[in-house]
Structure 1
Amino acid sequence: MKGLDSLKARWQAWWPALEPREQRMIAIAAALVVLALFWWVALAPALRTLSSAPAEHAQLDVQLQRMTSLQTQAKALQSQPRASRDDAMRGLETSVRQNLGPNAQMQAAGAGEGVTIALRAAPADALAQWLGQARSNARAVPREVHLTRSTQSATPPPSASPSPATSAPAATGDSSRVRWDGTVVMSLPAR
């Protein structure tokens, strides 16, 4: 308290000794400092938040729409009648043949726990479409996935010869020609 008292005494001796013009200038400078601090601490962050709110609101609306569509998909899948294991197996076989063609081989896993699909140079878009069909039509879900990016393009059927038009996109690294090798173990509905 002694330091505060001495500071107060020094202020009381110094302030009246100043000219009225100097006192006004010091008061104006102090008011400007207080006003600047009020701006930086209270108003600027609030105005920044207010100006960025519409963009954040739009982003949250997009996320909400995505979540709503996922919820609708989940409810549609839950409302479908349960498929038997044999129906699921047939549906999975059909989707493998339609989407992955000769690039995939399907084999029942041991003890009826699931199905293993071996992929060889499977196109990425066909693989994605097949996974969606397997989930919705056969009610099969991936349990294990071991995929590596294929170093070769899809092998053409033995009777077809590769044409320059089909080999050019693979050579240029076209992203639509990404292919995968590996295995996918799918769980089927219980018997």
Structure 2
Amino acid sequence: MSSPAAAAAPAGSPPQRSPLRAHWQRLAAREQTLVLLAAAVIGLALLWWLLLAPALHTLKTSAARHAAVDAQLRQMQQWQAEAQQLQDAPRTPALDAPAQLQRSVQQLPGGSARVVIAGDQATVTLQAVPAEALAQWLAQLRTSAHAVPQQAHLKRSPASAAPTWDGTLVLTLPPD
């Protein structure tokens, strides 16, 4: 079966041209060249914006992103080594952790430090404890009593010239 448009055309006549093709044929050669040139410029711009520019941006930023990922990897490896060291450290019986915490608090230099133990949490109150001594004490506490800091409310002591800290630390002790 034939279409109505084909039936309307006489049997030996050429097929109808589309209006766009007919318009193209009416343009002068110079105009056709300019239209082709404009289409090529638009095509190249689209090629640049959609394909090349994103790839070049990725290439330019890849070194910085690679460095950031490397830094994250080094940090994670450091944490892994620290976790492995803590896992390999000899286990302290849970009954000794509060006693070790009490002894270590008494050895802190500076003003005074008190500890209150309630279940598996300990609250340590510090007054004028030197910053370096506090850092060493926390590292030692983590390995000896396996106590992990959960909260810290510290502020620098205003009365001393050397950096000292006042405040409270809430520590979690290992389970029984």
TM-score of the two chains, using structure 1 as the length reference: 0.69
Answer yes or no: is the 8 Å Cα contact 1:124–1:180 preserved in 2. yes
Which residue among 115, 123, 147 is the counterpart of 1:116? Answer: 123
**Corresponding residue SS for 2:110:** helix
Structure 2 unaligned runs (5+)? Answer: 1-17
Aligned pair count?
159
Judging changes above 3 Å, is the alpha-carbon distance between structure 1 residues 59 and 103 closer, same or farther for their aligned structure 2 residues? same
Which residue among 151, 154, 158 is the counterpart of 1:152? Answer: 158
1:48 aligns with 2:33: no
Answer yes or no: is the 8 Å Cα contact 2:105–2:115 preserved in 1. no
Answer yes or no: is the 8 Å Cα contact 1:84–1:190 preserved in 2. no
Aligned partner of 1:29 in structure 2 is 38
What is the rounded CA distance, in whole Å, between the counterparts of 1:43 and 1:76 in structure 2?
A: 49
| CA radius of gyration, larger in | 2
Structure 1 consecutive aligned stretches of length 4 or more whose deviation exceeds 4 Å: none
Aligned partner of 2:111 in structure 1 is 103
Deviation at 1:102, TM superposition (A): 3.2
Answer yes or no: is the 8 Å Cα contact 1:92–1:138 preserved in 2. yes
Answer yes or no: is the 8 Å Cα contact 2:126–2:168 preserved in 1. yes
What is the rounded CA distance, in whole Å, between the counterparts of 1:35 and 1:107 in structure 2?
A: 73
Answer yes or no: is the 8 Å Cα contact 2:111–2:127 preserved in 1. yes
Judging changes above 3 Å, is the alpha-carbon distance between structure 1 residues 190 and 19 closer, same or farther for their aligned structure 2 residues? closer
Deviation at 1:27, TM superposition (A): 0.3
**Corresponding residue SS for 1:15:** helix
Structure 1 unaligned runs (5+)? Answer: 1-7, 155-166, 171-176
Which residue among 141, 146, 149 is the counterpart of 1:142? Answer: 149
Judging changes above 3 Å, is the alpha-carbon distance between structure 1 residues 142 and 28 closer, same or farther for their aligned structure 2 residues? same
What is the rounded CA distance, in whole Å, between the counterparts of 2:60 and 2:38 in structure 1?
A: 30
Q: Identity over the aligned pairs, expressed in percent?
A: 42
Aligned partner of 2:67 in structure 1 is 58
Answer yes or no: is the 8 Å Cα contact 1:107–1:115 preserved in 2. yes
Aligned partner of 1:15 in structure 2 is 24
Deviation at 1:89, TM superposition (A): 4.0
Letter in 2 for 1:126: A
